[in-house]
């Protein structure tokens, strides 16, 4: 992997990850004004959760036509000035968190308030607008894994960053605003609520992730397995189609994976995505989220949570009153049946 850094015309960083050497970045010709983000967090006094307020994001690009895609290379609206690329990461023009956001008062009506001083990046997996992660060659998926590890290391080193989250949203049903195959990385200035709950569970149960993986490998919901990783449908799956991919070795994040683990991850991850797409014979809307340990606490094991909101070929699971209002999940599909169908889809 060959890394090349550059700057866009408004000062945002862009980093190219190429499978060959020789990249000479093309200057950004757009003459954009510097980004002026307004990101803040407020702490819900009833739950303790951080809520992020980012009014400037309401004007972000929304499903433009293909000839105006900002992730295709070299076009007049493109965020990537070069005529081609393999994998590229750049600072989001409409960030949820940004270290350049101005100071805010420490509270509002008694509610704690703070700058949303983090970082949000877009990661483009290919310059082919019509491709998908599942269709990419293994060499490209492996490059993406290395890029994720590199970005995790760099973002974790920013002062004030507590947690780095790598994820991909795919499909208009999920709420994507750009069709081009890409993912995102959020560097949070706080530990997210989901991670806090997992850390509390791990503190109460030493060896939790090892025990969960052992139980799943011995159970009937394994979808595929290798020497270093196992993919399974969790016994308490929230979503109608859900699979977790977990390494056999306890590692806190992408940076700790060795070469063999990264090689196998590229194979099994692409296989899992292809099974999702084969389930109903059409590309499945999904969220692929990588849980990584927050700064200073390695009791959480790196793992993927991959899920789709499609519960049948022509039906969507919407988050209704129980899930949205009470966070009390109701799954219409048996995890055992979902695992069997994903195995068969391979």
Q: How far is CA 200 from CA 86, 141, 235, 278, 305, in A?
A: 39, 33, 20, 37, 19
What six digits make up the tokens of 344? 């068969």
Output b/e per residue, 278-289; b: 16+ Cβ within 10 A: bbbeeebbbbbb
Of the candidates 50, 129, 179, 182, the residue annotated as catalytic is 182
Evaluate whether 19 touches 140 at the Cβ level (below 8 Å). Answer: yes
Checking 128-133 for CB contacts under 8 A at 24+ apart, the result is: 128/181, 129/66, 129/69, 129/71, 129/72, 129/179, 129/180, 129/181, 131/181, 132/170, 132/181, 132/273, 132/277, 132/283, 133/168, 133/170, 133/181, 133/270, 133/273, 133/288
* d(C-alpha 80, C-alpha 43), whole Å: 36
Residue with tokens 């750009």: 178
Bridge partner residues of 183 (DSSP): 123
Q: How far apart are the first and last CA of the chain?
A: 30
Look up 182 and say whether it is catalytic. yes
Output b/e per residue, 166-183; b: 16+ Cβ within 10 A: bbbbbbeebebebbbbbb
DSSP conformational letter for 26: P
* d(C-alpha 207, C-alpha 214), whole Å: 11
Report the chain's C-alpha Rg in angstroms. Answer: 20
Active site residues: 182
């Amino acid at each position: 992997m060959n890394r090349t850094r550059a700057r866009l015309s408004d000062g945002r960083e862009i980093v190219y990850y190429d499978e060959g050497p020789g990249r000479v970045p093309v200057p950004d010709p757009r003459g954009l004004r510097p980004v002026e983000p307004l990101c803040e967090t407020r702490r819900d006094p009833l739950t303790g959760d951080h809520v992020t307020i980012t009014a400037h994001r309401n004007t972000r690009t929304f499903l433009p036509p293909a000839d105006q895609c900002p992730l295709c290379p070299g076009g007049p609206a493109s965020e990537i000035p070069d005529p081609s690329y393999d994998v590229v990461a750049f600072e989001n023009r409409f960030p949820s968190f940004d270290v350049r956001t101005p100071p805010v008062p420490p509270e509002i009506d008694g509610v704690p308030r703070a700058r949303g001083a983090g970082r949000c990046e877009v990661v483009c997996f290919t310059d082919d607008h019509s491709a998908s992660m599942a269709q990419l060659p293994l060499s490209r998926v492996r490059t993406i894994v290395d890029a994720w590890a590199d970005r995790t290391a760099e973002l974790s080193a920013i002062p004030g960053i507590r947690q780095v989250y790598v994820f991909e949203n795919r499909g208009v049903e999920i709420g994507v605003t750009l069709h081009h195959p890409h993912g995102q990385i959020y560097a949070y200035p706080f530990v997210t609520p989901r991670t806090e709950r997992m850390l509390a569970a791990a503190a109460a149960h030493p060896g939790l992730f090892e025990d969960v993986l052992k139980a799943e490998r011995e159970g009937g919901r394994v979808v595929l397995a290798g020497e270093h990783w196992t993919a399974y449908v969790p016994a308490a799956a929230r979503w109608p189609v859900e699979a977790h991919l977990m390494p056999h070795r306890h590692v806190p994040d992408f940076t700790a994976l060795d070469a063999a683990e990264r090689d196998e991850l590229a194979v099994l991850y692409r296989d899992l995505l292809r099974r999702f797409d084969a389930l109903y014979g059409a590309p499945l809307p999904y969220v692929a989220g990588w849980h990584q340990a927050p700064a200073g606490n390695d009791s959480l094991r790196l793992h993927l949570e991959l899920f789709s909101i499609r519960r049948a070929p022509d039906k969507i699971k919407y988050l209704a009153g129980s899930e949205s209002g009470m966070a009390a999940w109701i799954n219409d599909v048996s995890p055992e049946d979902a695992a069997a169908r994903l195995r068969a889809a391979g």
